[in-house]
Structure 1
Amino acid sequence: MNKFTLLGLTLLAAVQIHAQSKNPEIDSKYRRSSLYKMMIDDNSRSYADVIRNSFLNGPDQEKFNNHNLGLRTIPATDAKDESANIITFMEANNIARDVVAKWFDRSAKGGFDMELIKKRGSYDASVLDIAKAKSSKRGLDMLSDAGEDLIKNTFILVNDFKYVSKEEVAKKAGGFMSLAGNIGAAAGVSGANEMASNATEAVNVAGKGYVVKTTAHLFRLVWNEETAAIFYNDYWADDKTITPERKKAFDDSKIFKLEYIGSDVSWADVQSSSFSQKTNEQLIERATNKAIDAVIVKLQKEHDEFKTKTPLFTGEPITAKIGLKEGISDKSKFDVMEQQQDADGKTKYVVVGSIKIDDSFPIWDNRYGAADENPDNKTDKTYFKKVSGKEFFPGMLIVQKKGK
């Protein structure tokens, strides 16, 4: 029996299907995509240290598994577009290989295990039966399932930040800059016309505060049948069976790759007048983290594979822990999906209905710093109305429809 099949035994488990659960605490147990966040580090830019520290110490994206490695920054070049620099850096530093190593808990000895995959995939190790798994097709199917549903959905997001003072831009442009949209446009901020909803608001923010702009580049780990077969057959060993030859084979491997998904630009604006007691450094910290959230939303709207699933928090009324941070608006619509297993034990998601925003309730403002910016906000979830489908339960997953 080949080693690829043998490894299947370590994943033989009943996937804990929570779709019919009525326990809201399942929120942490559904299968998330994994995200590794990096940034371009340019010491010559304004507030470079503040932006770097804000990025490195900022909160996790809770809709993703944290797959960060120790290497988080990429030195900047003089190029206007850092895309080539990013690719060169990631190849030179074997980022794809090290992302795979983290998935399999590679030790200092060079051995691997399946503990992280079991944890993130909710595979129950207590039901493993090696004797029954030795010649089981189900074992191979479960391994394939983990690869398709977990490892393959590993993304690397590289942010390139710039700090732009609206006051400085306004002084250079004079009266023309009375509109915040024009300020943003002159500053090179994508979507700057969104900076104010009307001219009155625009006049109020003109010349105050700043924006932090990020250009984000999104990559995805290539994990296919060929790559998996080479890994399990040529590199895999645990700490008890690892040999110097296998350790070196993985160390020297060049089979692991990243594929480019796309890039987008976003920004975050915080008026200095909104936080009269906040320092510039504190305002920049807020804007940096808001810019990350905003660009992730934009990338998800354009790339379905990057969209996250969110479990329903309650089924009646229909609520979920999702809000303005995820780009939700009163026009947002979602498919409701149920997680199921087929006869071979592989996971699939079946659409069982659809929902839309319930406009009789405010959308949850869960953006970074929202508690300070909107202290009167009392809600901690968003409410929805059923468009189609039967009864919904906590734990069923919702995915925002394309373009909504």
Structure 2
Amino acid sequence: MKKTITLLLTLFVTIPYTYAQTQAVNPEVKYRRSSLYTLMIHDETRPYAEVIRASFEKGPIPEKFNNHNLGNRVIPTSNAKDESQNITAFLNENNVARDIVAKWFNRSAKGGFNMDMIAERGKYDANALDIAKAKASQRGLETLADAGEELIRNTFILVNDYNYVSKEEVAKKASGWLNTIGSVASYAGLGDVSTTTTITSAAVTVAGKGYVVKTTAHLYRLVWDEETAAIFYNDYWADDKTITPEKKKAFEESTIFKLEYIGSDTSWADVQSSVFTKKTEEELIEKATVKAVDAVIVKLQKNHEEFKTKTPLFSGEPISAKIGLKEGLTEKSKFDVLEQVVNKEGKTEYVVVGTIKVDDKLPIWDNRYGADEENPNSTEDRTYFKKISGKDFYPGMLIVQKKGK
């Protein structure tokens, strides 16, 4: 893939500058997001199992990702201490990788494909992605390869395995001799709790109506390489007008599509509550479920570079972005500022043009799930940053958190 077609090159080059001119008025920026398919382990013997399931299924996909969910989002438990083998077997037996590809190309009931989703999510000109024209020239095929590298290969599968522990239960087991949240969380098997509020033994007692939620998340990524793409376009691709029974069957019986395991992490979420809350147990569990997903995504992104998301700057002066505590920001958080360019080979690249850090003189936006209820008087709607290095920044530039921060 040495060069790509002029039309696509022109499109890529003009995108950042067009946004730079318009986003001062309208800061809504369209950019290429990674895509996410979330599932959960379901154990019907756990307390409130159906509430947990319903809360997960209706919970929002983080806005920094494209929603790539398929119909089935629940994996029956194997009752093993480690569900890894069960998850891998489920994903393979249900041909999840193949179905993810089918969704990317809008496969119809007839078996035909189209490029509508690729064009929409990648901000491509649909004419530049015409398969018939692309297959007639090497440059055209390179255009498709660029689209796949930018979008399709950044499709992730996140499987959550939840463990819910009521604070009341922890307090009873502790019998008064555990007097900090660190000890309580350790006793409950919750691990890293260094950022939470310290709770005395008395506070634990009155916080009985609430839950600490632990989730172990397993992260996979769709394998979309040059070989896989070539087989797909040459052997399986057809639109509804040209599809044949042979090609339809070939795709449905294909075994070339794979998922790679990226890693796993454990995190937790605490629903602050008291005996005076008006929230029901079901409502507390729903809130904890969503918070637990947000928390583990933050941890996975810190530990796995390929899973990190980009965020557009909301304003350039002062520097601000629509991210906050939900994304794990602290006063020490630093970000690279990226500008989208096209390299000599005609591929899209993100070039670092500066560095910013959270402005510690201003509050970090609390955008966590339910924050509007917990902090009804808050007026923040973004987080502000200070420039460490770089040129002038403008709305629409992208930022990505620096490694280890």
Q: Aligned partners of 1:308 and 1:274: how far apart in 2?
A: 38
Structure 2 counterpart of 1:377: 378
Aligned to 1:204: 203
Deviations along 1:20-65, one digit per CA (max 9) or x if unpaired, are 6143346441000000000001100111111111100011210000
Query: Does the 8 Å contact 1:11/1:139 carry over to 2?
Result: no
The equivalent residue for 2:98 is 97
Query: What corresponds to 1:167 in structure 2?
Result: 168
Check whether the contact 1:12–1:127 (CA below 8 A) recurs between aligned residues. no
Q: Which residue of 2 aligns with 1:262?
A: 263
Contact 1:11 1:128 survives alignment (8 Å): no
Offset of 1:126 from its aligned partner? 5.9
Matches within 5 A, 1:150-161: 150-161=151-162
**Aligned sequence identity (%):** 67
1:21 matched residue in structure 2: 20
Deviations 1:245-297 (A, max 9, x none): 10111000011000000101111111322971111111111111000000000
Structure 1 residue 180, shift from structure 2 partner: 1.8
| Deviation for aligned residue 1:195 | 3.5
Partner of 2:391: 390
* Aligned-partner Cα distance in 1 for 2:383–2:305: 22
Q: Give the letter for the 2:15 counterpart.
A: I
1:149 is aligned to 150
Name the aligned partner's letter for residue 21 of structure 1.
Answer: A
Residues 359, 386 of structure 2: 8 Å contact kept: yes
Taking a change above 3 Å as real, the CA distance of residues 138 and 259 of structure 1, as seen in their structure-2 partners, is same
Moved more, 208-217 or 225-234: 208-217
The answer for unaligned runs of 5 or more in structure 2 is none
Alignment correspondent of 1:252? 253
The whole-number CA distance in structure 2 between the counterparts of 1:9 and 1:257 is: 33
In 1: Cα distance, 2:64 partner to 2:275 partner: 28
Deviation at 1:128, TM superposition (A): 7.2
Partner of 2:301: 300
Length, aligned pairs only: 397
* Superimposed CA distance per residue, residues 142-199 of structure 1 (whole angstroms, 9 cap, x where no aligned partner): 2111111100000000001121112112212212222222221111112134432x45
* Map 1:83-232 → 2, pairs under 5 A: 83-125=84-126, 136-196=137-197, 198=198, 200=200, 203-206=202-205, 208=207, 209-232=210-233
- 1:195-232 C-alpha deviation (Å, 9 max, x unpaired): 32x455x6424562221211100000000001001111
Task: State the Cα deviation string for residues 332-362 of structure 1 (Å, max 9, x = none).
Answer: 0000000112345321110000101112211
Listed as ranges, the gaps of 5+ residues in structure 1 are: none
Deviations 1:92-119 (A, max 9, x none): 0000000000000000000000000000
1:268 and 1:144 map into 2 onto residues whose CA distance is 40
SS where residue 110 of structure 2 aligns?
coil
The answer on whether the counterparts of 1:9 and 1:133 sit within 8 Å (CA) in structure 2 is no
**Aligned residue identity for 1:399:** V
Question: Is the CA contact (8 Å cut-off) linking 1:356 and 1:385 kept in structure 2?
Answer: yes
Report the aligned-residue RMSD: 2.4
Residues 1:35 and 1:241: Cα distance change in structure 2 (over 3 Å) = same
Identify if the C-alpha distance between structure 1 residues 36 and 357 changes in structure 2 by more than 3 Å, giving closer, same or farther.
same
Distance 1:35 1:9, change over 3 A: farther
Shift, 1:377, TM fit: 1.1
Corresponding letter in the other structure for 1:153:
N
What is the letter of the counterpart of residue 11 of structure 2?
A: A
CA distance change for structure 1 residues 364 and 23 in 2, over 3 Å: closer, same or farther? farther
Task: Give 1:136 deviation, angstroms.
Answer: 4.7
User: What is the SS of the residue equivalent to 2:212?
Assistant: strand
> Aligned with 1:385: secondary structure?
strand
Which residue of 1 is the match for residue 341 of structure 2? 340
Scaled by the length of structure 1, the TM-score of the pair is 0.92
What stretches of structure 1 move > 4 A for 4+ residues in a row?
A: 8-13, 126-137
Kept after mapping to 2: 8 A contact 1:337/1:350:
yes
The answer for the alignment partner of 1:360 in structure 2 is: 361
Shift of 1:127: 6.7
CA distance in 2, matches of 1:290, 1:366: 11
Question: What is the CA–CA distance in structure 2 between the aligned matches of 1:10 and 1:47, rounded to whole Å?
Answer: 55
Q: C-alpha offsets along residues 298-334 of structure 1, whole Å, 9 cap, x if unaligned?
A: 0000000000000001111111011000000000000
Partner of 2:351: 350
How far apart, in 2, do the equivalents of 1:173 and 1:34 lie? 42
Paired residue for 1:50?
51
Q: Which amino acid aligns with 1:309?
A: K
User: What is the deviation of 1:138?
Assistant: 3.6
Change (3 A) 1:274 1:174: closer
Residue 219 of structure 2 aligns to a residue whose secondary structure is: strand
Q: Separation in 2 of the partners of 1:41 and 1:13?
A: 48
Residues in 1 aligned to 2:212 and 2:105: alpha-carbon distance in whole angstroms: 40
Q: Would you say the 8 A contact 2:206–2:274 is kept in 1? A: no
Q: Is the 8 A contact 1:141 1:344 kept in 2?
A: no
SS in 1 for 2:79: coil
Distance 2:43 2:326 in 1: 27
1:305 to 1:281, Cα distance in 2 relative to 1, 3 A: same
- Residues 12, 133 of structure 1: 8 Å contact kept: no
Amino acid of the residue matched to residue 14 of structure 1? Answer: L
